[in-house]
């Protein structure tokens, strides 16, 4: 009997997920829209997101178990209806796969017509920031970044375009925020955070602040931090509540839309698909 009940619970969860009965929520945020993506669309979206006036840009990956290889994707979507306008099915040039084992794109960030993407080598000892043309998603160039602190890969990158910097943290717990010069990705400095952070999936600059998306492990309550990248002060901006323990928060885009939404957060269900959830701050 228990098996039958759990079977029907699973079926109900599947259909409620499919038909939008349950969607992610967030404290002090109004849910404006939830875009749900399946199949190839989900694969193109599962890891990274950023935005400009007219579009969202996403990164995703798939692992082909039998072949033992990972496949990476970049996507471009209309901001008003989340329809796909472009996809790059082979964003990592062959030489970077062959020479460095680059097989993972993490968090991404947009500035001045360029998509910046965090790309890891196989053994996490070599890390890159790849640049792509936001117009057609074509590869421009790659910068090798210091692995002095990034000894477990490069999970994300966020661009402070006004001041000409790129930022990231390592994946494991650390109180070090790394700052790179945008023109050549040389290390500009290391900012000590007021509290250590871990499992940061992605970030974005907005209005002078750095917003970071953290996956809290084994929890459906994930966290968005607000960071002062000059002083290193970290505060908790808000908490998101995901629909299932199989879901994991990924990258964030912060961009004001006409409907009032500002925070656009990916969460990835390892079984079914991807939510891109659009939240508007509730004025107090
Ligand atoms: Ca981002
Ligand atoms: Ca979580």
Q: Where are the domains of the chain?
A: 26-281
Give the number of the ligand closest to the Cα of residue 57.
1
Alpha carbon of 237 to ligand 2 centroid (Å): 16
Ligand 1 centre and the CA of 69: distance in Å? Answer: 25
Query: CA of 260: how far to CAs of 53, 96, 159, 204, 266, in Å?
Result: 14, 40, 23, 18, 18
Cα–ligand 2 centroid distance for 47 (angstroms): 14
Helices and strands in the chain: count of H runs, count of E runs:
3, 21
Region of 135 on the Ramachandran plot (φ > 0 left; ψ -120 to 50 alpha; else beta): alpha
pLDDT in single tens digits along all 284 residues of the chain: 556 556 655 554 565 555 555 889 999 999 999 999 998 899 999 999 999 999 999 999 887 766 667 789 999 999 999 999 999 999 999 999 999 989 889 999 999 999 999 999 887 789 999 999 999 999 999 999 988 889 999 999 999 999 999 999 999 999 999 999 999 999 999 999 999 999 999 999 999 999 999 999 989 999 999 999 999 999 999 999 998 877 889 999 999 999 999 999 999 876 678 999 999 999 87
Residue 222 Cα to ligand 2 middle (Å): 5
Q: Closest-lying ligand to the alpha carbon of 166?
A: 1
pTM of structure: 0.91
Q: Is-contact 249 214, C-beta < 8 A?
A: yes
3-class DSSP assignment, residue 48: strand
**Nearest bound ligand to the CA of residue 265:** 1
38 pairs with which residues across the strands?
Answer: 273
User: Ligand nearest 223 Cα, by number?
Assistant: 2
R_g (Cα) of the chain, nearest Å: 18
> How far does residue 240's CA lie from ligand 2's centre (Å)?
9
The Cα 99–Cα 153 span in angstroms is 16
Q: What ligand is nearest to the CA atom of residue 222?
A: 2
Give the number of the ligand closest to the Cα of residue 243. Answer: 2
Centre of ligand 2 from the C-alpha of residue 223, in Å: 9
| Ligand lying nearest the CA atom of residue 167 | 1
C-alpha of residue 171 to centroid of ligand 2, in Å: 14
CA of 218 to the centre of ligand 1 (A): 23
CB within 8 Å of 10: residues ≥ 6 apart: none
CATH code of the domain occupying 26-281: 2.115.10.20
Ligand nearest to the CA of 105: 1
CA of 199 to the centre of ligand 1 (A): 14
- H or E segment and range at residue 14: helix 2-18
């Amino acid at each position: 009997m228990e098996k039958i009940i759990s079977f029907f619970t699973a079926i109900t969860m599947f259909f409620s997920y499919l038909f939008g009965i349950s969607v992610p929520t967030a404290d002090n945020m109004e849910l404006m829209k939830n875009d749900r993506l399946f199949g190839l669309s989900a694969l193109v979206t599962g890891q990274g997101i950023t935005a400009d006036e007219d579009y969202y840009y996403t990164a995703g990956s798939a692992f082909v178990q039998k072949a033992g290889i990972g496949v990476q994707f970049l996507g471009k979507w209309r901001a008003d209806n989340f329809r796909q306008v472009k996809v790059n099915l082979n964003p990592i040039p062959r030489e970077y796969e062959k020479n460095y084992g680059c097989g993972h794109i993490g968090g991404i960030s947009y500035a001045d017509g360029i998509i910046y993407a965090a790309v890891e080598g196989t053994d996490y000892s070599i890390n890159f920031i790849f640049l792509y043309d936001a117009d057609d998603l074509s590869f421009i160039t790659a910068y090798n970044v210091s692995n002095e602190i990034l000894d477990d890969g490069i999970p994300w990158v966020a661009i402070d375009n006004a001041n000409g910097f790129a930022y990231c943290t390592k994946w494991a717990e650390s109180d070090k925020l790394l700052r790179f010069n945008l023109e050549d990705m040389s290390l500009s400095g290391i900012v000590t955070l007021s509290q250590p952070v871990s499992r940061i999936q992605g970030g974005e600059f907005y209005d002078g602040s750095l917003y970071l998306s953290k996956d809290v492990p084994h929890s459906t309550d994930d966290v968005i931090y607000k960071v002062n990248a000059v002083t290193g002060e970290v505060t908790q901006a808000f908490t998101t509540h995901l629909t299932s323990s199989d879901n994991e928060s990924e990258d964030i885009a912060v961009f004001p839309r006409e409907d009032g939404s500002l925070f656009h957060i990916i969460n990835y269900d390892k079984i079914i698909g991807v939510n891109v959830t659009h939240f508007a701050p509730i004025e107090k």
